[in-house]
Each structure stands twice: as C-alpha cells, then as structure tokens.
A = this chain, B = another copy of it.
C-alpha cells in the first residue's frame, strides 16, 4: 500500500509529516522547528487539502505526488494564516484546535517566524516538484500566490479589516473564498486539467464555509469549538447571522451548498465528488444549537 492509496486524511497527514521532517538539512533552531511542527499537527479537519485531493481524484489524479505537494502547500499557507491571525495584534486568541495558540505555547516572535517559515515552505515544496513537471509546478505556484497574497488572497482579506470602508465582495472572496478556490483549481491543475472551470465550486464552498463559521461562532461554546466564540460580535466583523438571522443563515448555507454541487464541472469522478460535497454539506450545517448566544 503506497501513501497515495491511503484514505484522503491519512494521505494528507503522511504528506505533511514528510514535508516537515526533511533530513540532511542545516541545524535548525530547535524551538522554531518545534513551533513549526506544533502549528501544522494535529490539524483540524484539513478541509482545504481534502477538497484539493478530492478534485484531483475526480480529475484522475494522474500525478499523485504533485497532488500531495499541492495539498501540503495549501494547508501550510492555511496554518500560517491561523498562526498570524491568532496574534495579539489580530484576534488575540489563546486557543486554537483545543490547544494553546503558537504565540501562547512558544512566544510572539516565534509565532511570527512560524507563519513566515510556513509560507516559504509552501512555495519551496512546490518548487521542489519542478524537475518532473516544471509547467505544472509553476502554475500551482502562481495560483497559490494569487490566493495568498495581495491583492486577491487571504492577506488582502485580512487587510480589508483595517479599512473604514470595505468592498464586501472583495473582502469575502479574499478572506475565506481564496483558499477554497485555490483548493479546487490546484486539485484540477495537479491532475492535468484546466483550472478555470473549477473556480465556482471553490468560491461556493468557501462562501458556505464562511456562513457555517458565522453560525458556529454564535451557536457553539468554546469547548466544543476549541477556540473562543462570539468573536464576530467582539470584533464587529460582518456576519451572515447578523445580516439574515439564524434560520435565514441556515437556509442561505443550504442554498449555497446546492449551488456548489450543481457547479461541479464534467470530469471522470463527478458523481463521487458530488457525494463528497453533499456529505460535507451535511456535516457543515448546524442542527442542534448549543448555548445560542445573541441569535
């Protein structure tokens, strides 16, 4: 059994572990090395790399090592953004995935450096793919960069939160949509398919994820969520629940997910991918409100 025939989750964890432990390199500062490993494992649901691999499989997954590298690079960018977003100057969060955030467990300098190092490592992983298929490696990097940095990536999304007047569409697409669009498009690219038809699926799942996150922020308690709740209200962030109420937000979420399934492009594994998204939609939609706050 090779790493590529494992279930998606095991395949992702194996690829992440391999990317973090690279023997034969110069001596590393031990605490930063430890903080890096801490920041990426154990992970959360690994939603973005799972979506990336699911799309790659739906497209035939012709180069599994390329798909794995793309999945790890994307997850490292996501982990970097979490580490930096948790910093005192942003969300000032003490908890993430049920354990102390990196700046709490290590220090603020090491948290800044962990995020920086993960961004670099993400691009390094893709650059090291290059010998076998340079054109695909470069395309993956351009897509990842566009969805990570300025003006259209998650950095831009965070940047909108420092503006008095916000372009709401640009904000939502960049803040949450960007890495989901990267997931579907990089999955297609890694399998040798054109990325353009896959933008809608990523954008819609990203939108659904944002609405589901707004709902969780209101419905769950900190223990169930593994991080502080009520943060949207505290930070005056736009929220689907504030805009349309609890039931309205749940209906909106279901509509978006139906649209996502309908948007899946023709591909060999279309039916299976639709089933994965449908399953994910069920898990994502809150059914049993616990400790509703301000709803």
Contact = CB atoms under 8 A, between A and B. Distances in A.
Contact of A32 (B31, B146, B162, B167): B162
Contact of A112 (B107, B112, B156, B167): B112
A261 interface: no
Contacts of A27: 151, 167, 170
Interface in A117-169: 117, 119-121, 123-124, 127-128, 130-131, 134-135, 137-138, 141-142, 145-146, 148-153, 155-156, 158-163, 167
A174 interface: yes
Nearest to A151: B28
A7 interface: no
A172 interface: no
Contacts of A26: 151-152, 156, 170, 173-174
A216 interface: no
A116 B29 CA distance: 21
A287 interface: no
Interface string A212-225: 00000000000000
A156 B120 contact: no
A132 B30 CA distance: 40
Nearest to A123: B123
Contact of A84 (B31, B112, B137, B173): B112
A124 B121 CA distance: 14
A109 interface: yes
B116 A142 contact: no
A280 interface: no
Most chain B CB atoms below 10 A, which of A128, A138, A161: A138
Nearest to A87: B112
A108 interface: yes
A134 B130 contact: yes
Contacts of A25: 151-152
Interface of A: 25-33, 36, 80, 84, 87, 89-90, 106-110, 112-113, 115-117, 119-121, 123-124, 127-128, 130-131, 134-135, 137-138, 141-142, 145-146, 148-153, 155-156, 158-163, 167, 170, 173-174
22 contacts: A26-B151, A26-B152, A26-B156, A26-B174, A27-B167, A28-B152, A28-B156, A29-B170, A31-B159, A80-B116, A84-B113, A89-B108, A113-B155, A116-B149, A117-B150, A120-B145, A120-B149, A120-B150, A124-B142, A127-B138, A130-B134, A134-B134
